[in-house]
Structure 1
Amino acid sequence: MNIGIVAGGPQEALADLAIYKDKVDLWIGADLGASYLLDQNITIDIAIGDFDSIDHNTKNKIKYSASIYKEYPIEKNETDLELAIEKALTYDPDSIFLFGVTAGRLDHELANIQLLYRLLDQNTKAVIIDRQNEIAMFKPGKYQVCSNHNNQISFIPFSSTVQDLTLEGFYYPLSNETISWGSTRCISNHLIKQHGTFLFNHGILIMIKSTEEDNLS
């Protein structure tokens, strides 16, 4: 099962959710994210959060439309997104797509990116998607990556070092290199073939696929 979670980040940065309808089996709207699902005519399987970001009429529409509606008090230990992720994990999903979690408040954005590590630690595949970016996190191993829309692809260490990083099929190849916090060595690369490979032996690695605004359709 693939689960899509939509949070309440800025709407102008939100990806076109319709593109992912065939990839997502269950949709969860976290607070304002449930309203975004309504706006894009996507069935709300679960609506969850404190719903302090929406007006009364919209909240009632969400209650009526959602198969499952769970409202929490405003003062709570978890963010609405954390509640949505906890609910998603009860379905033992193969992957989770996270929308509406970037491009807003910086503290929220950084915390949301760190949630990728929590999911990685539980062996749940997850990716953050907005209008211009896809962000994923990886444990040591060998992975294939493909590119669309002239993506720029960057690799950033999430651990203090990532060791023995090799990039194959990229414009700037790499062979068994160590990259550390603060390094820009692997920023703004791109594929020279339809598919490329990256592999490493130690550390935690973030991959960001970005599309320039002018190339967005």
Structure 2
Amino acid sequence: MKRWVIVAGGDLEPADLKELRREDRVIAVDGGVLPLLKAELPFDRAVGDFDTLSGEGVLALKKRGIRVEELPAEKDVTDTQYAVEQALAEGAGEILILGALGGSRFDHSLANVFLLEKVESAGVRGEIRNSHNRLRLYTGNGREMIVERGPFQYVSLLPLSERVEDLHLKGFRYPLAGATLLRSDPMGISNKVIAPRATIRASSGRLLVVESSD
């Protein structure tokens, strides 16, 4: 199944766009149009209220034959949420969100992180990524999540639910066996993978898995 990449209008470095593959379906969200145009990278459509793009910019997109969906400024969803819901409706097998973090609006960054729950609830793999971080969701139901040792130095496990029960970590610098993590106690910060493949397993609760580098 196709991977869909959503390029949002948050902080985006040129290196982040190297994540794009030729076969990806790409939706540019509002200001996310600009780095794609600058890098001369193709995308399938542009969506948003385009408050960061002039009317002339929108017209230029249409003249290039790019599908543009202009959304009202006042609506019940964010532009990025709209793009995620489009990708899910069109059968995405995986969703990667770039440009989801940073900028002056922390609320938008946090809202984008929570969109990973919408993606997972639809049975689709989702992640947020930039040059320094990779964010994924783990739902505790007894299954394992594999974290491979790679370019990221740290792995932090942050409960999104009030509690994460019966947590087992193997292959990490700080292993756990049957532990409980609380959302109010960030003890899962800054672990490290020391085996080629580490595993996370819990019986209940939901974790935000953040791989990061300095």
3-state secondary structure, aligned to 1:83: helix
What amino acid is aligned across from residue 54 of structure 1 in structure 2?
A: L
1:97-112 alignment, distance < 5 Å: 97-104=96-103, 105-112=105-112
1:192-203 alignment, distance < 5 Å: 192-203=194-205
TM-score by length of 1: 0.90
Distance between the aligned counterparts of 1:53 and 1:40, measured in 2? Answer: 18
Q: 1:44-79 CA deviation, whole Å, 9 max, x = no partner? A: 101111111012343233223454221122222221
Partner of residue 186 from structure 2, selected from 184, 187, 191: 184
Aligned-pair CA distance for 1:187: 0.8
Cα 1:192/1:31, change in 2 over 3 Å: same
2:25 counterpart residue number: 26
What amino acid is aligned across from residue 167 of structure 1 in structure 2?
A: L
What amino acid is aligned across from residue 191 of structure 1 in structure 2?
A: V
Consecutive unaligned residues of structure 1, counting only runs of 5 or more, are 213-217
1:89 counterpart residue number: 88
Pair 1:3 & 2:4 matched: yes
Question: What is the aligned residue count?
Answer: 210
Consecutive unaligned residues of structure 2, counting only runs of 5 or more, are none
Distance between the aligned counterparts of 1:69 and 1:137, measured in 2? Answer: 31
TM-score by length of 2: 0.91
Pair 1:153 & 2:155 matched: yes
What amino acid is aligned across from residue 191 of structure 2 in structure 1?
A: N
1:123 counterpart residue number: 123
Deviates more, 1:156-165 or 1:107-116: 107-116
Q: Percent identity?
A: 32
1:35-50 alignment, distance < 5 Å: 35-50=34-49
What amino acid is aligned across from residue 160 of structure 1 in structure 2?
A: E
Cα 1:4/1:150, change in 2 over 3 Å: closer
1:169 counterpart residue number: 171
Aligned-pair CA distance for 1:89: 1.1
Deviates more, 1:162-171 or 1:146-155: 146-155
Q: 1:141-195 CA deviation, whole Å, 9 max, x = no partner? A: 2111113224200001110000111111111111110101122221101111221
3-state secondary structure, aligned to 2:19: helix
CA contact (8 A) 2:149 2:197 kept: yes
Cα 1:15/1:136, change in 2 over 3 Å: farther
Cα 1:99/1:65, change in 2 over 3 Å: farther
CA contact (8 A) 1:43 1:65 kept: no
CA contact (8 A) 1:134 1:209 kept: yes
Q: In angstroms, what is the RMSD of aligned CA positions? A: 1.7
1:215 counterpart residue number: none
CA contact (8 A) 1:44 1:66 kept: no
1:205 counterpart residue number: 207
Distance between the aligned counterparts of 1:55 and 1:194, measured in 2? Answer: 48
3-state secondary structure, aligned to 2:6: strand
CA contact (8 A) 2:88 2:122 kept: no
1:54 counterpart residue number: 53
